[in-house]
Amino acid sequence: MESYMMDWALMLLRWVHVITVIAWIGASFYFVWLDNSLEKPQAPDLLQKGVDGELWAVHGGGFYNPQKYLVAPKTLPANLHWFYWESYSTWLSGFALFVALYLMNARTYMIDPQIYPMTASTAVLFALGFLASGLLVYEAICRFSGQKPWLVAAAMTLLITAASYLSTQIFQGRAAFLIVGAMLATMMTANVFFWIIPGQRRVTAAMRAGEKVNPIYGQRGKQRSVHNTYLTLPVLFAMLSNHYSMMYNHPMNWLVLVLMMIGSVLIRQFFLLKHKRKINWYFPLSGVAIMLAVFIWIAPRPASVQAQDAEVPDDARMLALLQTRCTGCHATQPTLMSGPPPKAVVFESEADLRKHANTIFIQVVQLKAMPLGNITQMTDEERALVARWFEKQKL
Ligand code: HEC
């Protein structure tokens, strides 16, 4: 019952998280598109009002005519809509999920003693340390190279590469990917919380007080918002790819993550330019080329070569093997984790083995996702045994 309640809580939380992400990233995509698509107005009355860019769009049965004022309109409207809860609720729901899924199950989902042995509380500290120190380094990068976009891009690539490498040397691949994603997502929300919104508050306060508006606040906000645009696809990739062990279980998983992120930024760049009616195929083609290279590079090799005299285990031998490596979790009463057996998969009889033969082969031989975090230290020879047992099933 307890784990049933927990599953509901997690399901609702994940649902809320995805909804808030859509609201935030959707609004962000829209405003980036809008900003890049605006045209200088011609009409004298618009120029007179201080309109710097405008656009006509048709959507959902009506025509829209957004106008952008730089730095601000001459008088503030009484009713001004702000965009920040989308971002804050994304971070809050994401952090809650991170705590409930990972930090509270550090032993199962974060620690791999073969990568880096540590206690659960150390793992939690390291994970929080990643989020905090990522933010500090990012702030330093913005301060010291803020005016030079190429320098920021180079420094960010270095920071993300270093973070990916470090986290994969400390955590299970899956947690490592998620932590890099959470680190970048924290920077994005911090941009909204510490820079974009406070800047807008200063501008509106100055206007209400009838003072001159300092354009620096708008410029700073714009810079952070541009950074967020480039971080969007990498963050989404880090969040989703941790469901695919072909990505996070590769021996050089940090490089897989970095390359896929770079590929996604190149594709985003194409769309950003396209909004400005500049078509540059170099960007998406190189993005896709990078991803294609990763696809070829990490493709699974055909399951272990069959030596002529290699042992082909029978079902009893296989059951004995899985009972040393798997039933800590996959039994009616798991001992290595709390709650019911994961995905209701148990290995308690030879019939169980035959029932799950296909997924066992996929999880153990092809993906190497099981045993989870290789907590029970299954060897490559044992994986080869599973492969030969599976081949025999097919005969
Ligand atoms: C530390 C606990 C743990 C150990 C040990 C473990 N598993 Fe799992 N297993 C899980 C969890 C948790 C899941 C649920 C999927 C997930 O969270 O990735 C799972 C899911 C599975 C699935 C279902 C996959 C699916 O998506 O349908 C199979 C099959 C499986 N494990 C096989 C094995 C085999 C075979 C072993 C031993 C070689 C093993 N597991 C060892 C925790 C474990």
Cβ of 344 below 6 Å from ligand 1: no
pLDDT at residue 159 is higher than 60: yes
Q: What is the pLDDT of residue 136?
A: 97
Q: Residue 237 Cα, ligand 1 centroid: separation in angstroms?
A: 23
The per-residue pLDDT of the chain, averaged, comes to 91
* Percentage of residues of the chain with pLDDT beyond 70: 97
Q: Residue 141 Cα, ligand 1 centroid: separation in angstroms?
A: 41
Residues 6+ apart with CB under 8 A from 209: none
Q: What is the pLDDT of residue 148?
A: 87
Pick from 206, 207, 194, 189: which is nearest to 73 by CA? 207
**b/e string for 304-335 if b means 16 or more Cβ within 10 A?**
beeeeeeeebebeebbebbeebbbbbbbeebe
Which residue has its alpha carbon closest to ligand 1 atom 9?
Answer: 342
Cβ of 388 below 6 Å from ligand 1: no
Site to probe by mutation for ligand 1, drawn from 241, 317, 363, 368 as the one with most ligand atoms within 8 Å of Cβ, is 363
Mean pLDDT of 277-285: 94
Q: What is the pLDDT of residue 144?
A: 87
Mean pLDDT of 102-128: 91
Distance in angstroms (rounded) separating the CA atoms of residues 316 and 353:
10
Distance in angstroms (rounded) separating the CA atoms of residues 176 and 238:
9
Cβ of 376 below 6 Å from ligand 1: yes
Q: What is the pLDDT of residue 309?
A: 64
* Percentage of residues of the chain with pLDDT beyond 90: 66
Cβ of 360 below 6 Å from ligand 1: yes
Q: What is the pLDDT of residue 306?
A: 53
Distance in angstroms (rounded) separating the CA atoms of residues 338 and 334:
7
Q: In which residue are the tokens 């618009």 written?
A: 46
Most confident of 45-54, 100-109, 288-297, 324-333: 288-297
Mean pLDDT of 14-39: 95
Q: What is the pLDDT of residue 295?
A: 96
CB atoms within 10 A of CB 167: 24
Which residue has its alpha carbon closest to ligand 1 atom 12?
Answer: 342
Q: List pLDDT tens digits, range 306-319.
A: 555 677 888 999 99
Cβ of 378 below 6 Å from ligand 1: yes
* 124, burial (CB in 10 Å: exposed 0-12, middle 13-18, buried 19+): middle
Pick from 184, 14, 189, 234: which is nearest to 91 by CA? 189
**Band of residue 304 on the pLDDT scale cut at 50, 70, 90:** low
Distance in angstroms (rounded) separating the CA atoms of residues 125 and 384:
37
Q: What is the pLDDT of residue 87?
A: 96
Cβ of 110 below 6 Å from ligand 1: no
Cβ of 326 below 6 Å from ligand 1: yes
Q: Residue 326 Cα, ligand 1 centroid: separation in angstroms?
A: 8
Site to probe by mutation for ligand 1, drawn from 245, 324, 329, 390 as the one with most ligand atoms within 8 Å of Cβ, is 329
Q: Residue 367 Cα, ligand 1 centroid: separation in angstroms?
A: 11
Q: List pLDDT tens digits, range 198-237.
A: 999 998 999 888 888 888 888 889 899 999 999 999 999 9
Residue 252: both structure tokens together:
């050089």
Which residue has its alpha carbon closest to ligand 1 atom 23?
Answer: 343
Pick from 75, 67, 223: which is nearest to 145 by CA? 223
Q: List pLDDT tens digits, range 134-155.
A: 999 999 999 888 678 899 999 9
Longest C-alpha distance within the chain, in Å?
A: 89
pLDDT at residue 388 is higher than 70: yes
Which residue has its alpha carbon closest to ligand 1 atom 1?
Answer: 372
Residues 6+ apart with CB under 8 A from 318: 353, 385, 386, 389
Q: Which of 38-47, 266-275, 384-393 has the lowest mean pLDDT?
A: 384-393
Q: Residue 8 Cα, ligand 1 centroid: separation in angstroms?
A: 20
Q: List pLDDT tens digits, range 238-258.
A: 999 988 888 998 899 999 999
Tell me how far the alpha carbon of residue 170 is from its chain's centroid: 18
pLDDT at residue 303 is higher than 60: no
Which residue has its alpha carbon closest to ligand 1 atom 11?
Answer: 342
Atom of ligand 1 nearest to the CA of 376: 5
